[in-house]
Structure 1
Amino acid sequence: MSATICFEIVDIDNLIPRAVDNEEYQDENIKKLSPWIFQHCDTAEENCTDNWPDHEWDLRNLFDDLSSYCAEVKEYNSGSIGVENALRPSEMITLPRKTWKVPAREDSEPFIRRQGMMLRVLMKIVYFNLDARIQGPKVRFPVSILKMKYVIGGEKFLTRAEGAATIEGLPIISCTGWFEGQTWREFLEETISVMLGQLAKNIRYSSAGIQGQDVFVIGFHGLYIHIARGFFAADVISRIHLKGCRENEVFKINFSRGYNLCLRKDWFEATQALSRLYQYLLSGDAKVGAITSISTKGSRWQCLNLYQDYWDHTTRIVMRVNSLNKIGLCYIYS
């Protein structure tokens, strides 16, 4: 499949809809994610975990891996890269039948696998510090690589996410991989393939037919992580699945700026963005099949709208629960 990808770097307000308006509530969540190292300095250097307190073992282990990763990337003389520095206004891509069979990528499998493990830990830490997780569908973080397939014009394509946040086995955030020497075109092919795989996993039939879908992925590009979002309209999904892409097919993907997690400012902005993404996904407003649909077990899912009120400087979360009507479901691609 060939198509033109147009992309833009946008601020978080334009990338992720705000599900919680209370800025004080946002600040409280971010304070929970203040690593020991950033209480003492602005940069997490290699060996920064030597004096790290034991009670922050999860963050200590993450920063041990992050600092080593950043040191390794800098050895490649690639420290300045990131989506801001690599992007072009548009790019023509051709999707590979199996994304992990790209020759240069195969040589970098251990390096890419490390990225997936770090992103998995990051997503897990942010989620377990989020009040929204207390109710509603539970988010899981499988250790194994998530293989996915999608069909375009009758042709089958295979992709895989290096990590994922899932609900009942369906990905709501997938992780992409980057390797040294990866071209911008190869980076986009990886990103779009993972997005389409996640889309195929989440599409459901309902009484209203196929619905438009939001797809979010997270990944490294050099030292920096980013969040990317694509929206796929229902008519486009149906047409491309059955007939393939038109000659002049164009898709638009939005990216956040890149965040170097070893820098204090970037760490807090990145975790705030990821926290906001979870809040949006779990609010019930996101157009993501895993969240808006009822599970095949027939259980009712409850999506939460969180409202914050403060009393004597203590956060009270008042939750309004909206029950969803049960509908029949089935996979379209998977």
Structure 2
Amino acid sequence: MSDRNSEGGRANDASFDGAQSGSGEDPEPGFPIVSRTDFAETTFLLEILHPLLARAARPGQFVIVMTHDHGERVPLTIADFDRDRGTVTLVVQAVGKSSREMQSICQKGRKIFAIVGPMGIPSEISHAKKVICVGGGLGVAPIYPQARAFKDAGAHVIGIVGFRSSNLIFWEEKFRAVCDEFIVCTDDGSAGMKGFVTDGIKQAIEAHGDIDEVVAIGPPIMMRACAETTRPYGVKTMVSLNPIMVDGTGMCGGCRVRVNDRIKFACVDGPDFDGHAVDFNDLMSRLHRYQSEEREAMERYSDSCRRLAMEPSPTMPVGGK
């Protein structure tokens, strides 16, 4: 069982700065990408060699990544970790400037310049005898280590994952290996149950009647829907929040969220919170605050990529001859 007190939960208790070689012998700074898997046009997985981080990581924690020495600090939830291999796994969706940059640069054999973590309080793997682990979209990846941890603790695990369509599904076999029951939901009905993860939650709760806990990770609107679905049943529901974040230590205040009408910081007080107590309206309002700046950064990045693509190769004369 993962214990928040014994496992060191605060963001800076076991942080490892990545601006140094993972082996200590390679002069190039950073940590090697040992494998990459592309799940869809904009979704990809990176397995990164970082033995210290792999040894310290717990379900629910996250890292802050810098692709290169001038890169933005990007918070990413740890999707998996393998202590024997000394690797951590991150799943990224390329939706903005920095994540698009990661999609282009982060290839097998290259290095991530810096990784700081594990950060945040590990998820509490309770004594629940029957638990529902819910992941939607990109939240499917970080719910996996929690499902595995509950299974290892002896719980009956019901996994529910949701995607827009069947072509976006990933890790189905991994989930089936750690779940006693597994439900796939797709918006268009191309695989599994047609509908949303909330439909799967209702089905599971009504079929069992003795669910102790629901854990949900995904877009804020999905987590809010999950919390509202479980509220009438009185089932404890934990959600993992990923608000705007800069330093990851609580100093910037960018990741503040309202929980039970009190201010909390997702990076040091979370990322897990009681879904029935989170002010999701405030959270989603804050997430949209910098949309214009994000669009501007993306436009500048796209323009620079287009200009670079038009420049002749330094080894190729103009005209290609």
* TM-score bracket, shorter-length normalisation: under 0.3
More helix by share: 1
Structure with the greater relative contact order (CA < 8 A, sep ≥ 6): 1 or 2? 1
- TM-score, normalised relative to structure 1: 0.24
